[in-house]
Amino acid sequence: MSETLDYLKSKMDEENFGRLAALENEKLNAFVADAIRLCRPADVFVADDSEESVRRTRESVVEAGEEKPLKIEGHTVHFDGMNDQGRDREVTRYLVPEGETLAPSLNQIGREEGLAEVRGLLEGSMEGRTMVVRFMTLGPNNSVFSIPCVECTDSWYVSHSLNLLYRMGYADFQRMKKKDEFFSVLHSAGKMDERMVSVEDDKKRIYIDHTREKVYSVNTQYAGNTVGLKKLALRLTIRKADREGWLAEHMFLLGVQGPDGRKSYFAGAFPSACGKTSTAMLPGEKILGDDIAYFRAVDGRCMAVNAEAGVFGIIQNVSAESDPAIWEVLTKPGEVIFSNVLIKDGKPYWLGMGEDVPESGVNFSGEWFKGKKDAQGKEIPPAHKNARYAVRIKALANCDPELENPEGVKLDVIIYGGRDYYAYVPVQQGYDWAHGVVAYGAALETVTTFATVGKEGVPEINMMSIQDFVAIPLGKYIQNDLDFAGKLKEVPAVFGVNYFLMDEQGKFLNGVRDKHVWIHWMERRIHGEAGALKTPTGLIPKYSDLKALFREVLDKDYSEEDYRKQFTIRVKENLAKMDRAIASYRKEAEVGEEVFGNLEAQRDRLLEAQKEFGDYIAPDRWPEA
């Protein structure tokens, strides 16, 4: 027996040591041994894929006080700290080896300096607690898409979240035996108060050691900072995809139902709080995933899988009317973790749920009452804007049956959308793959929202909704997407959407449910069953097609006046948008001429149209495509 195995045997009981040793993986053993030496847990629980392991986590999270049971069977609530309510950009950094640099837009710190800091914070952090060792996979089990992952954590809430959001991976580690290609995550909640909430948020750190495919996280519980397989692993996956010639995308996957039983698969990239999950869960369609997708070229087709098996969704504005599929899950017995909502008499309440919210209860601030203020004198809302729910996708009645297909599904459409109040129309199609990827993806512009820590409402380019997570040069990431089409015989169509277009008075021009019509116009469009008009920014729908679809999909009248307001091309605003995108990419390394060529060509088309028609051009001015 090796020295590492001897050490591990001395730190766990026979049963848990046996589960770890049976995997016969030296790199894995070294990772777990290092975590034990550094964090000094009282004991170690090595989970496998058994129902017993699942039950142990489900019971322990309540016993530890990290979740509280609610009135409906299977429902629990977890609270994060006052300053731990979203992905924290400022303290999320890449560990960069000496002599290497990443894009200046990415937070980074010297590897040796960063390791010393984060490991110093982790030292002794698990004393008196259990370290839970979890084996999961990104992507379906036993698939060319799947990536094995291990996370060591002292948070039963993190372990419970993993149960709902990912596939169990112990069997995958058994199959791979001595192979050492896996992602590893080490997390500790750090010092906690009597509510089992992390309290040293000033010492919160989330560091990504991308050269070792490892993540460190400490003094935080918010799932986006601690469930390492989410956006933290996405940073590692992007580098792996870059090396191996496939794509890792921040996208939902949706099966859209067409006439006569036809189903087409859509992927969509939206920044947080921009309509991504609500699009993925449209009633009558089939949800395959709401957050992260992997694409591979297989026999000339773009095949896609959901990296995850659950949903960690924003709950604000989820109502019975707007989101019936998820509302059904959130209001019936079954396993659901609510976080940072208001609890009154065992019932969760959140902002925009369509019901009266009590004037007192318990929330992320502790005992709450209407008018309660924080340390800065700001009134505390009953629930946080970024309050969440975690559920398995299979809990949804409209879960797509292909969720666990190891071969994936053939992708037909890619959509990019953000919060663009004044420029892009609600839906438009790219002239071709390159135009769509650049004009709608690379130039995706949004305003910052409550889903990330920091100031809200600041406009910014968020390339393909993945800019925060890219650990390779941004230009190289875009080029990988552009080049991917060359591997395909059947290239997906690319569309841009904008659910947040406003008029001059700041009123939204899209209804909440209108997105369902845009989706079905795209579905008809790719099958040659809907026409289009050719504008400088892309191909837009014809009024006659939308009028029929509004009646068919929403049983709603759609006026020519609404069409004109929504699909008028706002030349000045679009020119400013192109100028901002061009200026942003001039600052980045490795941005190819194909990017600038598409942006500048769109600007030139807008200038030419402006000379002929003016600053605001109604849709009836454009020719048929």
- List active site positions: 274
Contact 78, 158 (CB under 8 A): no
Question: Are 423 and 432 a contacting pair, CB within 8 Å?
Answer: no
Taking the C-alpha atoms of residue 270 and residue 136, their distance in angstroms, rounded to an integer, is 26
Cα gap 409→405, rounded to integer Å: 8
What own/partner pairs with CB < 8 Å and gap ≥ 24 does 361-368 have?
363/79, 364/79, 364/80, 364/81, 364/82, 364/85, 364/340, 365/82, 366/195, 368/342
Q: Which of 356-371 are b and which e, b meaning 16 or more Cβ less than 10 Å from the residue's Cβ? A: ebbeebbbbbeebeee
For the chain, the distance separating the N- and C-terminal CA atoms, rounded to the nearest angstrom, is: 71
Tokens of 190: 């750090």
Residue 439 is given by DSSP the state I
Measure the CA–CA gap between 129 and 488, rounded to whole angstroms: 51
Strand partners, 484: none
In Å, what is the CA distance from 551 to each residue of 458, 557, 562? 37, 6, 14
- C-alpha 597/C-alpha 533 separation (Å) is 23
Q: How would you class 14 by CB atoms within 10 Å of its CB: exposed for 0-12, middle for 13-18, buried for 19 or more?
A: exposed
Contact 46, 184 (CB under 8 A): no
State the Cα angle at 254 between 494 and 329, rounded to 5°: 150
Rounded to whole angstroms, the Cα distance separating 558 from 567 reads 13
Residue pair 596/585 in contact by the 8 Å Cβ criterion: yes
Q: What is the phi/psi pair of residue 255, to 5°?
A: -95, 110
